[in-house]
Amino acid sequence: MNAAALAALRERLERFHALSKAAEVLHWDMETRMPRPGAASRALQCGAVARAAHEILCAPETRGLVDELGPALSDPGDESEPAALWRWAERETARRARLPAALVEETSRATARAQDVWVEARRRSDFAMFLPELSCVLELKREAARALDDGGDPYDGWLAEFEPGMRAADADRLFAELEPGLAEITARAIARPRRERHPALTGFFAIERQRGLGEAAARLIGFDFSRGLLDESAHPFTSAPALGDVRITTRYDERDPFSNIFTVLHEAGHGLYEQGIDPALADGPLCAGGTMSLHESQSRLWENAIGRGREFWTAFLPRLREAFPSAAGASLDDVLAAVNSARPSLIRVEADELTYGQHVLLRYGLERRLLSGDLRPADLPEAWNAGMRERLGLTPPDDARGVLQDVHWSAGLFGYFPTYLIGNMISIQLYAAALKDRPEIPERLSRGDASPLRGWLRDKVHRHGRRLAAEQVVARACGGPISSRPYLEYLRAKHGA
């Protein structure tokens, strides 16, 4: 192998990675600190950085180095870091070569603009205000899909951005296996009489006291605050500017003490993944979560499989009571009933784990129709509301609680939603495998020690970053491919009665 060529390729990829992470800082700041009148200029900044990063990958010199190293590194069975880096570079340079730099820059600018308009449109529940921006972003993303089309399903190009290695047909198959069972359990949950939350868990919960609780939850599962931080933002997210700088955000609801806790567990789940990557991969493109569904498997595992379980609350209930003595009237079972109640609701990020899937399937169906041109952006609110009625028996009272609720489309993240549901599937597969390998997990967790599970995840998932493909990670950890079956069984056992 030509060591000089590898060093030269590495230098370029690290520069690309540094620019991508710089963009992450710009986004972090935009969501947490930037005065709103800075938004238009920030859009230009994001665009310029995205373009500079793109140009590195698209430079003929970069592709030349990839081609030169092919003979030495293209063996798909080679699991060394250089071979994994080469695979990443080969795939990304091929993908990027099909996207014109002007399209990349214009998309970055348009989405930064659209996100700013979306915030205001959602606040006013004014879809008409958002429509021109959405149409613009959608057209750019459809142009990208056409540029990436390799003759298969046109949705493949969108999905590949977040889930390399997976095709739309794979997602269709997983969802087709899931949907009938999910619909049946959901219908039964809709029909069931609603169980009211224990009164001690309702009322007013001061944000000042919720802050410490969120931090305690993150600490309990092992988020490392010496290499990260927890902030507040309107839309919670995780950002990882560096291996030593992993950031999560939450938001607070004064009427609900759990919303913040589950948000923190979710984002800290993402954060643990980023913090657990092998330091040998630092500052290069392999230093990231494998795919979005694998990332989401980590957030959902801690949020749901752990965070809604008896063991976590055995350890954490004293903390809740300490922060809110008024909640002491509720027993452990009352808390578990409150955090596991399943009933249709309007907002995806607040949905319970049963109905969550319906929210994703709705969006996935709409995205496929938007891409094909079968659905026009102007008709989205109507199609959205029809889908909500059909899937969950609810009609959103306004677009803020309907089609305007998610940031994704304004951010150009078409193709992202399916990874949420696939991530849920993987989370249950992984947790089952972890319990088999480390039977002490529940007992230790109930004593406030999450290290057995965290250690298992670090070993099986986190440390690999993008060195292994997602399907390899799942196959080795769980002994089989990604499947919807364990997830469906889990939902049936918990919510099907």
Residues labelled as active-site residues: 267
Residue 101 near a second copy by CB under 8 A: no
Among 34, 190, 315, 375, binds a second copy (CB under 8 A): 34
241 sits near a second copy (criterion: CB under 8 A): yes
Q: How far apart are CB 111 and a second copy at their closest, in Å?
A: 15
String marking each residue 273-312 x if it binds a second copy according to CB under 8 A:
---------xx-----------------------------
Residue 36 vs 173, nearer CB to a second copy:
36
Q: 81, 245, 350, 449: which one contacts a second copy (CB under 8 A)?
A: 245
What are the backbone angles phi and psi of residue 167, rounded to the nearest 5°? -115, 165
**CB of 430 closer than 8 Å to CB of 269:** no
Which residues, 6+ apart, have CB-to-CB distance to 94 below 8 Å? none
Say how far apart CA 251 and CA 261 lie, in whole Å.
Answer: 9
Nearest to 12 by CA among 74, 57, 67: 57
Question: Residue 99 to residues 54, 143, 363, 439, 497: CA-CA distances in angstroms?
Answer: 9, 9, 25, 48, 50
Which member of 204, 226, 255, 497 binds a second copy (CB under 8 A)? 226
Instruction: Write out the binding residues for a second copy, residues 329-368 only, by CB under 8 A.
Output: none
Return the residue of 5, 8, 10, 39 that touches a second copy, per CB under 8 A: 39
The Cα–Cα gap between 103 and 111 comes to 12
Asked whether 127 and 403 are in contact (CB, 8 A), the reply is: yes
Check residue 373 and give left, alpha or beta (phi > 0: left; psi -120 to 50: alpha): left
Nearer to a second copy, 116 or 399 (CB): 116
Among 5, 8, 44, 432, binds a second copy (CB under 8 A): 44
Q: Tell me if 123 contacts a second copy by CB under 8 A.
A: no
**Residue 191 touching a second copy (CB under 8 A):** no
The DSSP symbol for 301 reads I
Residue 125 DSSP code: T
> Rounded to a whole number, what is the distance in angstroms from the first to the last CA of the chain?
60
**Minimal distance, residue 7 CB to a second copy, in Å:** 14
The single residue among 5, 8, 10, 18 that binds a second copy, judged by CB under 8 A, is 18
Establish if 21 lies at the interface with a second copy (CB under 8 A): yes
List 3, 35, 193, 493, residue binding a second copy (CB under 8 A): 35
How far is 110 from 134, CA to CA, in rounded Å?
9
Judged by the rule CB under 8 A, the positions of this chain that interact with a second copy are: 14-15, 18-19, 21-22, 25-26, 28-29, 33-42, 44-49, 51-52, 226-229, 241-245, 282-283
